[in-house]
Amino acid sequence: MHSVDIDLGDRSYSILIGSGFLPDGIARLADIRATSAVVVTNATLARLYLKGWSGFLATVYPRVHVVELPDGEEYKNWDSLNRIFSALLEWGCDRKTVLFALGGGVIGDLTGFAAASYMRGIAFVQIPTTLLAQVDSSVGGKTGINHPLGKNMIGAFHQPRLVICDLDTLDTLPKRELSAGLAEVIKYGPIADMALLDWLEGSLDAVLAKDRRALAHVVQRSCQIKAAVVGCDEKETGLRAVLNFGHTFGHAIEAGMGYGVWLHGEAVAAGMVMAAELSHRLGMVDARFVQRLTSIIGRAGLPTRGPIVDAADNAGRYLALMHVDKKAQAGEIHFVLIDGPGRAVSRPAPDALVRQVIDACCG
């Protein structure tokens, strides 16, 4: 088992990485005292893992309840959030309740937001079951829901008490979902650790084959990088913005196509190519860097070109959607750009140049 610690003072916690019901995880759960445990999951994962986790939690907590939600990004909304709140109220859950997010990024974000809001804040634990959630969304305390006009625009920062990454859950992960998770792994190279990108280029086949040692490495290294960034900038007032490389374009793709049509990782992958091309056109990286990044994204089974979201004015629609983004400041879109391999910055770019990039990288 591997462990990565997030250093946030009295909100510090550990990310445990291994296989099965991790012994250290059992011991740590005993420290999270509660009158009841509520597992939030979706219908797909309930069939696979709910019986095991519910039985295990019943050995730790007096009462165990389950909220089962539909599966899909399109359900990351107010209706699903209210289903969690209604269940908690009907069961008489108090502030000594702990929520368990058993699922991918959608379940993790919904559960975390519910935990941040219910009775103004209760404990929750992340049990991420997708590669994307294990390397990114379960770590750092970002929670929230989507709005038709923008992704993740409504939410809160609320840190989990513990993250348990069971690599065994990746055995049932569809190939498309595994590739989507790799987008969030690949991003860590250009923004922070080119050695990781070097390793991925040589070990990508092993990761795609779900080799346990390779998966353990990508999860651990990704969490180490994110832990270091979050420890310095918990609420994204500066440095943490670099973790959104590719996300400004990617969120526009998700909103423009309709949530769930493109997976989050697929949208981020195409967004990284656009952000790298924008970096190149601003003179920050050379064409070889863009080609190298595009190549590994394609090898991972991810799209390297963005979709057409508006046949009449595709670039204009992208720009309109990107203006409704958390990184926009005073009406100006800020992009995470690569200022030389392994270094990222957040800065604006001229709309005319952004239009050129979108036209060159879509369709």
Return the active site residues: 120, 142, 184, 226, 236, 240, 244, 247, 251, 264
- Closest C-alpha to 306, from 275, 280, 345, 350: 275
- From the number of C-beta atoms within 10 Å of its C-beta (0-12, 13-18, 19+), residue 196 rates as buried
Task: Give the list of residues 6+ apart from residue 195 with CB closer than 8 angstroms, or none.
Answer: none
Q: Which residue shows structure tokens 């509520």?
A: 38
The tokens of 270 are what?
């195409």
* Residue 161 burial (CB count, 10 A): 19
CA pair distance 296, 299, nearest whole angstrom: 5
In the three-class reduction of DSSP (H, G, I as helix; E, B as strand; rest coil), residue 296 is classed as helix
Rg (CA), the chain: 20
Q: Which of 88, 87, 86, 130 is nearest to 109 (CA)?
A: 130
Residues 235, 153: Cα–Cα separation, whole Å? 14
Query: In 3D, which of 344, 276, 283, 355 has the Cα closest to residue 322?
Result: 355
Contact 34, 88 (CB under 8 A): no
3-state secondary structure of 32: coil
What pairs with residue 102 in β-bridges? 127
